[in-house]
Amino acid sequence: MSFKENLINGTNFDHKSLNALQKVTLRAVVMSFLFYGLVAIEGMIMRLVQVGPSNPLPEMFSHPDHYFSIMTVHPIVGIFGSTYQLVFAAFMFLVPFLTKKPLYSIKLANFVWLSITIGTALAWIAAFVWQYAPLYTLYWPLPADTSQFATIGGIVFIIGVALIMLGTFGFIYNIYATIFARVGVHKDKTTKELLISGFGIDGMLNLWNKLRGKQPYSKEPALALPVVAIFRGTVDTFLDAVVILSAGVLVLVYLLFDMGGSPLDVGAIDALLYKNYFWWGLDLVADGLVLIYVAGSWYLLATLITGQKLFMENVARAALMLELLVSWMVWSHHLLADQGQPEMMKLISGEMVTAFELLTQGLALFITLVTLWKARPLKMTMELKYLLGGLIGFGLAVPAAIIQADMGMNRVLHNTQWIIMAHVHIALIVGLYMTLYSALYVLWPIVTNNTKMYSSKMSNIHFWLYLIGGVGMGAFGGMAGLDGMLRRHLYVDGEFNTFMVLAAICGTMVLVAWAIFLVNIVMSVGIKGLIGIFLPAEDKTASYGIEPEVIADNHKV
């Protein structure tokens, strides 16, 4: 097939053969990767500005209004527009796939991706047009500071964020309604049984009974382990959405009063209390849903790739419960540099409970590796490569954060590039995204009805460029942080030039890797297929039932 033919028609992709669930999944995936491209370009712009006067960008990017507008929307587009979309799409497909029950509502799933897409676009427009730039932290009272920002920009931004959160609520409802639906294999299960399994209490009781030499509480838990992780992580997703939405409403009220000519007193809100509330919610993204979802995804991928039961499944179930509790109590590690924060909260929440994340994530890493190990020899497929890449990402990123969640270290690392590059970027770019790429390669044949990937060479180039670029960018940024480079600061004189040049080179590798991946996908589904994904599905089925064993067979040597 010629290049042109491939570009138009793809390999063997037929969008008409897709059912409603497959189509809605692919729509969100397409939007997610488009936003990923945007966020990678934004990241590169900021990196190049930090290189100093020798950077090739037009001067406007070094202007503080412009620069901090980009910094404000960069995490919104990256975390919500791209990551949330991809994770939500994967889970709204996986829950029906794993429970063998239809998704509760395809309409709601369509609302989710549309709402998040429009919301992200609005937040981006608010920053681009009105240069609304309070950053994602929204530290009170900066988002309501109308002496620095246009009120209308703030209103559009908050509406955008609110739409993202509404989409998030739609996802949560869809997931729980599907899990609790008493149809198919769950026809005879009670809500109580599903709840006990969802929270991993059955795993804990099994361990407890084993210690006492009794029979297991439940030999066949009502919910598969990955569904438990999705169930558990979604609790944090809900709490996080409530906090972000309520903070948004607070800002919106102040902005509307300001617009009406009777501004409210920003001093009425205690800045430190607000910080506590906001970080409690925001941290549920980083230390809650991401870690829990990732652990669940590793378990799923390890069992799908090997076709075997997970090693120490009861421990894994119980650890997910522990992770949920830990995630509610760790937010103070963001406030170790706040002198008004009570010392006991810094010590207990900020240091000690946070340290448990080393245990829970270390456990997930161990269980995943042993599950793979017990099934060797395995073929080094793309999904296995990406899974190992994801393990490297979190193996690097979690300790980087634990190191900073310490009262001594935080004094010299807080707000430096260390945390945002060596921890956040490596966790997201390498840890989370490589896990998601692994899931994508596993699910690709199921979601696209066995569409052939255009080029395995391109897949491999994408993998290596992405891994080396992602780790390198995080490492050089982290080194700059150790040398004192602040994270929410504009350096226009190239003060950290060497590290920023190296980080920019690695960032370029990530950007090129994304472009190669995108070309590979477009060449596989074709322009026609890409458009077809967004056309209504003829087959309205909301479930898909390929047996997991089929996936495992592909990995046997």
Partner 1 sequence: MTFSNSAELLSFHWVAYSIYSALIISVIAWFGYNLTRKEKAKSIVRIPFYTYIAFLVAGGVGHHIFTYNAIPWVSQDITRHDITPDASYKFQMEKQKWIGLPKERIIVQCGQTIEFDVQSRDLVYGFGLFRKNGSLVMQMQVNPGTDVNGILDSNDILWTFNHNGVFDLRSTEYSGPRAYGENGEDLLLVKDFMEVVGCKKDGGKK
- What token pair was written down for 508? 């370029």
Residues 315-344, mask of contacts with partner 1 (x by CB under 8 A): --------------------x-xxxx--x-
CA distances from 259 to 127, 253, 480 (A): 18, 10, 42
SS3 517: helix
Which run of H or of E encompasses 512?
helix 497-533
Q: Which stretch binds partner 1 (CB under 8 A): 15-23, 113-121, 129-137, 543-551?
A: 129-137
Among 103, 164, 300, 402, binds partner 1 (CB under 8 A): 402
Q: Is 554 in the site for partner 1 (CB under 8 A)?
A: no
Minimum gap (Å) between residue 65 Cβ and partner 1: 5
The residue among 312 and 518 lying less far from partner 1, judged by its C-beta, is: 312
Which span (1-9, 35-43, 388-396, 444-452) binds partner 1, by CB under 8 A?
Answer: 388-396
Looking at the Cβ atoms of 145 and 193, the one nearer to partner 1 is 145
Q: How far apart are CA 269 and CA 203, in angstroms?
A: 43
Is 461 one of the binding residues for partner 1 (CB under 8 A)?
no
Contact indicator for 133, 68 with CB cutoff of 8 Å:
yes
In this complex, which beta carbon is closest to partner 1, that of residue 94 or of residue 551?
Answer: 551
Query: Which one of 90-98, 152-160, 195-203, 377-385 is the stretch in contact with partner 1 (CB under 8 A)?
Result: 377-385
Is 345 a residue that touches partner 1 (CB under 8 A)? no
Q: Please, which of residues 241-280 interact with partner 1 by CB under 8 A?
A: 267, 270-272, 275
Buried b (16+ CB within 10 A) or exposed e, 500-523: bbbbbebbbbbbbbbebbbebbbb
**Of 242, 378, 512, 552, which one interacts with partner 1 (CB under 8 A)?**
378
Residue whose pair of structure tokens reads 């607000």 in the numeric block: 274
Angle, helix 291-306 to helix 85-99, in steps of 10 degrees: 50
Shortest reach from residue 62's CB to partner 1, in Å: 5
Choose, by CB under 8 A, the member of 6, 63, 152, 263 that binds partner 1.
63
Label residues 326-348 b or e (16+ Cβ within 10 Å = b). Answer: bbbbbbbbbbbebeebeeebbee
Q: Considering only residues 182, 411, 457, 556, which one is a binding residue for partner 1 as defined by CB under 8 A?
A: 411
In the list 36, 238, 386, 496, the residue contacting partner 1 (rule: CB under 8 A) is: 496
Q: Is 475 in the site for partner 1 (CB under 8 A)?
A: yes
Nearer to partner 1, 410 or 451 (CB): 410
Half-sphere exposure (Cβ direction) of 488: Cα atoms closer than 13 Å: 13
**Nearest approach, Cβ of 30 to partner 1 (angstroms)?**
30
Comparing CB distances to partner 1, the nearer of 189 and 488 is 488
Q: Contact 417/486 with Cβ under 8 angstroms?
A: yes
The answer to whether 461 and 111 are in contact (CB under 8 A) is: no
Binds partner 1 by CB under 8 A, chosen from 112, 392, 421, 458: 392
Smallest distance, partner 1 to C-beta of residue 471, A: 8
Q: Please work out the total of residues on this chain that contact partner 1, with binding judged by CB under 8 A.
A: 83
- Do the Cβ atoms of 517 and 82 come closer than 8 Å? no
- Reported as half-sphere exposure (CB side, CA atoms, 13 A), residue 377 has a value of 2
Of residues 133 through 192, those in contact with partner 1 by CB under 8 A are: 133-135, 139-142, 145, 148-149
Side chain identity at 319, as an amino acid letter? A
Q: Which is nearer to partner 1, 187 or 211 (CB)?
A: 211
Region 7-36 residues binding partner 1, contact defined as CB under 8 A:
none
Structure token pair of residue 511: 């950007």
Measured in degrees and rounded to the nearest 5, phi and psi for residue 416 equal -95, 175
Among 13, 33, 35, 68, binds partner 1 (CB under 8 A): 68
Stretch that binds partner 1, among 65-73, 110-118, 122-130, 167-175 (CB under 8 A): 65-73
CB of 351 to partner 1, least distance (A): 5
Considering only 57, 380, 531, 550, the residue that binds partner 1 (CB under 8 A) is 380
Is 548 a residue that touches partner 1 (CB under 8 A)?
no
The one-character DSSP state at 426 is: I
The residue whose two tokens read 């991993």 is 200
412 binds partner 1 per the rule CB under 8 A: yes
Residues 297 to 316 in contact with partner 1, rule: CB under 8 A: 312
Choices 17-25, 114-122, 169-177, 474-482; region in contact with partner 1 by CB under 8 A: 474-482
Residue closest to 165 by CA, chosen among 127, 111, 202, 128? 111
Q: What is the DSSP string of 417-451?
A: HIIIIIIIIIIIIIIIHHHHHHHHHHHHHHHTTSP
Considering only 103-111, 393-401, 456-464, 509-517, which stretch makes contact with partner 1 by CB under 8 A? 393-401
Q: Which is nearer to partner 1, 328 or 491 (CB)?
A: 491
Question: Cα separation of 27 and 92, whole Å?
Answer: 12
Report the C-alpha gap between 104 and 295 in whole angstroms: 25
Q: How far is the CB of 416 from partner 1 (least distance, A)?
A: 7
Does residue 492 belong to the site contacting partner 1 (CB under 8 A)? yes
Render 82-151 in DSSP notation, one character per residue.
IIIHHHHHHHHHHHHHHHTS--S-HHHHHHHHHHHHHHHHHHHHHHHHH-----TT--TTGGG-TTTS-H
Q: Is 369 in the site for partner 1 (CB under 8 A)?
A: yes
Determine if 372 is a binding residue for partner 1 (CB under 8 A). yes
Name which position in 195, 407, 515, 546 contacts partner 1 (CB under 8 A). 407
The backbone region for 449, taken as left when phi is positive above 0, alpha when psi lies in -120 to 50, beta otherwise, is left
Q: Distance between CA 135 and CA 71 in Å, rounded?
A: 7
Q: Which is nearer to partner 1, 405 or 537 (by Cβ)?
A: 405
Minimal distance in Å, beta carbon 485 to partner 1?
7
Residue 284 CB, shortest distance to partner 1, in Å, is 20
Which tokens hold the place of 234? 């979604």
